[in-house]
């Protein structure tokens, strides 16, 4: 399957507080053609992901893409990295979400390589993980190994769902900003999710709004150097309410990007989300980006 796109799904970048939508506006949005299409697309991707899941249990060895050699990229790739040609060489690490594996990034990994990123790799953490901090420490160890293998001092991290929260905990609470140049989160419950009250396991309890882990992440972090881009959706069935997918911390250089009509499992595969991730990692987005005139962000 290919990454999908459709009408009314252009990402909206904003850094201010999320406006509160009216009940009538929310109901109309749920009944819109874009939302219905997004829901059907989400079902299709969930079905495909179930079939692909066994293929993601093994992590292949890191190999740079031989097609991405300096001076040999096509014009579209050179245009993407015009502002910072060295950005194509910085390793990109993709981190999956809860009860998942690297197969969720099958589309994004291939797409980023086609866009000129030479080192795009994935990491599977243990499905038996019970603590965000433990997962963050394991991520830090993997990043150290990645830097040693590639010879680079810093990496980019893209985290889907819980993977984004694990990565944020590492850069904000464990000194991971020393290694992580930028962090992009996709459908990550930065402010928790009310659905976490349904399953009382130790890890999911940490995803409840106001949990000790989330209170830790709300503490001051004045020295954190990692830029954060939080991409979240108004059709996310897992991160509820919608505004919980925003990263609103006064000490972080954070940018929040709202996409419309994209389900939770569709986020890593959606064409415009992949475009946004690629542009961010290539240095074509700034943490102080403002929304385009005439666009509004609702949550």
Q: What angle do CA 139, 59, 281 make, to 5 degrees?
A: 60
CA 75 to chain centroid, in Å, comes to 27
Q: How confident is the model at residue 134 (pLDDT cuts 50, 70, 90)?
A: very high
CA–CA distance from 242 to each of 74, 218, 239 (Å)?
A: 38, 18, 6
Q: Say if strands 254-259 and 227-233 run parallel, antiparallel, or are unpaired.
A: parallel
- pLDDT exceeding 90 applies to what percent of the chain? 64
pLDDT mean over 157-175? 98
What is the per-residue pLDDT for 46?
A: 58
| Per-residue pLDDT reduced to its tens digit, 272-296 | 999 999 999 999 887 654 333 223 3
pLDDT mean over 239-245? 97
What is the per-residue pLDDT for 75?
A: 77
- State yes or no: pLDDT of 62 exceeds 50: yes
- State yes or no: pLDDT of 93 exceeds 90: yes
What is the per-residue pLDDT for 80?
A: 87
Torsion sign across C-alpha atoms 278, 279, 283, 287 = negative
Which residue segments constitute the domains of the chain, with CATH numbers given?
22-53+92-281 (3.40.50.1820)
What is the per-residue pLDDT for 87?
A: 86
pLDDT mean over 220-242? 96
Q: How confident is the model at residue 50 (pLDDT cuts 50, 70, 90)?
A: low
- pLDDT exceeding 70 applies to what percent of the chain? 71
Please tell me the distance from the alpha carbon of residue 165 to that of residue 71, in angstroms, as a whole number. 37
Neighbours of 200 (CB within 10 A): 9
What is the per-residue pLDDT for 3?
A: 45
- State yes or no: pLDDT of 199 exceeds 80: yes
- State yes or no: pLDDT of 7 exceeds 80: no
Question: Could you tell me the two tokens for 121?
Answer: 């790799």
Please tell me the distance from the alpha carbon of residue 103 to that of residue 107, in angstroms, as a whole number. 9
What is the per-residue pLDDT for 68?
A: 53
CA–CA distance from 60 to each of 53, 56, 106, 261, 289 (Å)?
A: 15, 9, 13, 33, 36
- State yes or no: pLDDT of 213 exceeds 90: yes
Q: How confident is the model at residue 299 (pLDDT cuts 50, 70, 90)?
A: very low
CA–CA distance from 223 to each of 175, 245, 276, 292 (Å)?
A: 9, 23, 26, 30
pLDDT mean over 259-263? 95
Region of poorest pLDDT, from 29-38, 103-112, 208-217, 231-240: 29-38
Asked, as a colleague might, if the bond just before 66 is cis with ω within 30 of 0, I would say no
Q: How confident is the model at residue 40 (pLDDT cuts 50, 70, 90)?
A: low
Please tell me the distance from the alpha carbon of residue 198 to that of residue 219, in angstroms, as a whole number. 26
Closest CA to 279 of 115, 161, 69: 115
Q: How confident is the model at residue 230 (pLDDT cuts 50, 70, 90)?
A: very high
What is the per-residue pLDDT for 165?
A: 98
Q: How confident is the model at residue 92 (pLDDT cuts 50, 70, 90)?
A: very high
């Amino acid at each position: 399957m290919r990454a999908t796109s459709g009408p009314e799904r252009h990402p909206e970048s904003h850094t201010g507080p999320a406006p509160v939508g009216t009940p009538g506006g929310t109901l109309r949005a749920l009944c819109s053609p874009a939302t219905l299409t997004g829901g059907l697309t989400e079902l299709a991707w969930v079905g495909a992901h179930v079939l692909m899941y066994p293929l993601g249990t093994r992590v292949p060895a890191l190999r740079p893409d031989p097609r991405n050699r300096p001076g040999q990229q096509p014009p579209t790739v050179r245009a993407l990295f015009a502002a910072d040609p060295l950005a194509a060489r910085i390793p990109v690490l993709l981190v999956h979400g809860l009860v998942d594996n690297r197969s969720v990034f099958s589309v994004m990994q291939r797409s980023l390589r086609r866009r000129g990123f030479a080192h795009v790799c994935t990491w599977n953490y243990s499905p038996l993980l019970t603590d965000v901090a433990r997962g963050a420490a394991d991520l830090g160890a993997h990043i150290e190994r990645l830097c040693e293998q590639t010879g680079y001092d810093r990496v980019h991290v893209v985290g889907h769902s819980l993977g984004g929260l694990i990565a944020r905990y590492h850069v904000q609470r464990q000194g991971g900003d020393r290694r992580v140049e930028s962090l992009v989160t996709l459908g990550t419950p930065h402010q928790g999710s009310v659905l976490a009250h349904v399953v009382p396991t130790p890890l999911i309890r940490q995803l409840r709004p106001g949990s000790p882990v989330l209170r830790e992440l709300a503490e001051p972090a004045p020295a954190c150097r990692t830029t954060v881009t939080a991409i979240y959706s108004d059709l996310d069935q897992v991160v509820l309410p919608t505004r919980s997918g925003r990263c609103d911390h006064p000490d972080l250089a954070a940018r929040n990007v709202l996409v419309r009509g994209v389900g939770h499992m569709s986020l890593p595969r959606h064409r415009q989300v992949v475009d946004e991730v690629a542009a961010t990692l290539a240095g074509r987005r700034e943490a102080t980006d403002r929304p385009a005139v005439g666009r509004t962000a609702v949550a």
